Amino acid sequence: MRYPREFKYSLILLLLLSFGFGNAQNQKQIDLEKRRQDILQEIEKINSLMFQGKKEQKSILSVVEDLNYKVNVRQNLINVTNQQANLLTKQINDNQSRITQLRAKLELLKEEYAAMVVKSYKSKSEQSKVMFLLSSTNFQQAYKRLQYIKQYADYQKKQAELIKEQTIKIQKLNIALGKQKENKQRLIEENRKAKAELAKDLKQQRAMEASIKKNLYAYTSQIRKKQQEVDKIDKEIEKIISEAMAASNKKAGKSTSSKTFTLTPEEKNLAANFSANKGKLPWPVAEGIVRVPFGVTRSTIDKTVPIKSNGVRISTNRGEKVRAVFNGKVQAIMTPKNGNNVVLIRHGNYFSIYKNLTSIRVKKGDEVTTKQIIGDVLTNKSTDESELHFQVWKDGKPQNPAHWVYKM
């Protein structure tokens, strides 16, 4: 009976290895599906928040920027869906291989079991068993033969159970295989639709870019002028923070040229709590999508023109309420000539900045709490765009808000 034991161990090892590998593949598939659903939600937000107004109202620069963003997101969707389909293909091939192996093992089990049944039938009489025991030369041999008869019967029973178990496993694998093939076909169909939508967006994007190239200098001038306006407001923000920093050091009897804040015990506690919530802060608007990220990027219109952002630009709904992302104190309210009001909230040595507001509902010196409404997002009358500019600063230096706000 040596072969069946070796066979049983190898089968168990095979199942354990395939179970562990299958779990890893399943988790990766779950992660990819979650990512795909996130991208689909992002596309829905793009359509509702960035393409909600009449297209003729928006400037060609804004439309091209929005289309470029949308194209990138659609390409991400296609890439993730391709990864899912490829992983499913691998899982399908693995399962087909496992089914083939299990069927081969099952045939061996059935053959072995059939041989045992035939052997048992030939020696089934109770008399032959008794004679087998009585022919023992001593009591110890008789005992061992009795144990052998019991073990052989138990082994027959276990073999029958093992055949049943393997048959059920094959049936389950066949069902799983069918579902995997259905899922793969669904992903292929969804990818086909996504590629068709992408082709439409790319066609529109190329048409607009061709139109822009005819008068590139004028459009580039508009981009540079817009960047200058942003830089001007950011310099004012930096000045306000520097003055607050100098005042905190002067009050503590330290050098006003220090590049860090001197905090009171209460401010230290507030700053520590703000820092502890890194990556957990709520969005400054209930619904929005990051249209322009933090840092320096290149203009989609003219790649030679750098676009610097000390924060993020969030496209949102018309009349969307703006919320404080954490407890703090209103340090200042700026009202530039272009009407894009700015609110600065201090959280110890941290600041959260909210630009492009209207109907401000707080004043300088007010204590605010997390998610408290501080104003409304301004909607540009000429382009019908509602966009919040949000920043996070620490000790006079801008931080990437995506590192601070939950799932930004």
Burial of 351 (0-12, 13-18, 19+ CB in 10 A): buried
Going by C-alpha positions, the residue among 123, 119, 120 that lies closest to residue 132 is 123
Residues 328 and 400 sit within 8 Å (Cβ to Cβ):
no
pLDDT of residue 131: 56
Cα 169 to Cα 166: distance, rounded to the nearest angstrom: 5
- Long-range CB pairs of 271-277 (<8 Å, 24+ gap) are 271/347, 271/348, 271/349, 271/350, 272/348, 273/326, 273/327, 274/326, 274/328, 274/347, 274/348, 274/350, 275/350, 277/326, 277/404
Residues 397 and 353 sit within 8 Å (Cβ to Cβ):
no
DSSP state of 189: H
Average pLDDT, the chain: 81
Tokens in use for 74? 């659609």
Tokens in use for 314? 């969030």
**Higher local confidence (pLDDT), 39 or 14:** 39
* H-helix segments, 50-138: 60-122, 126-134
Unique residue bearing structure tokens 């840092």: 295
| Distances from the Cα of 355 to the Cα of 202, 291, 390, 392, angstroms | 32, 15, 6, 12
Burial of 383 (0-12, 13-18, 19+ CB in 10 A): middle
pLDDT of residue 14: 45
Residues 323 and 371 sit within 8 Å (Cβ to Cβ):
yes
Q: Mind listing the pLDDT tens digit for each residue in 374-385? A: 999 998 887 778
Tokens in use for 228? 């200058």
231 Cβ partners below 8 Å, 6+ apart? 308
CA 86 to chain centre: 19
Query: Considering just the CA atoms, what is the radius of gyration of the chain in Å?
Result: 35
Q: Mind listing the pLDDT tens digit for each residue in 63-110? A: 777 888 888 888 888 888 888 888 888 877 877 777 777 777 767 767
Unique residue bearing structure tokens 């508009």: 222
pLDDT of residue 6: 47
Say what the pTM is.
0.65
Residues 373 and 343 sit within 8 Å (Cβ to Cβ):
no
Architecture of domain 227-403 in CATH?
Distorted Sandwich (2.70)
pLDDT of residue 113: 60
Mean per-residue pLDDT for 361-386?
Answer: 92
Going by C-alpha positions, the residue among 42, 111, 34 that lies closest to residue 73 is 42
Tokens in use for 209? 């870019």
Extents of the domains making up the chain: 2-213, 227-403
| Distances from the Cα of 44 to the Cα of 38, 49, 118, 189, angstroms | 10, 8, 68, 19
**H/E element, 190:** helix 139-213
pLDDT of residue 76: 87
Unique residue bearing structure tokens 């005042």: 247
Cα 259 to Cα 216: distance, rounded to the nearest angstrom: 42
Q: Mind listing the pLDDT tens digit for each residue in 237-253? A: 999 999 999 999 999 99
Residues 406 and 281 sit within 8 Å (Cβ to Cβ):
yes
- What torsion, rounded to 10 degrees, do the Cα atoms 14, 19, 20, 21 define? 80
Tokens in use for 37? 């659903």
- Dihedral sign (CA 351, 292, 63, 222): positive
230 Cβ partners below 8 Å, 6+ apart? 308, 309, 389
pLDDT above 90 covers a percentage of the chain that reads 34
CA 191 to chain centre: 19
Q: Mind listing the pLDDT tens digit for each residue in 271-306? A: 999 999 999 999 999 999 998 899 998 887 778 888
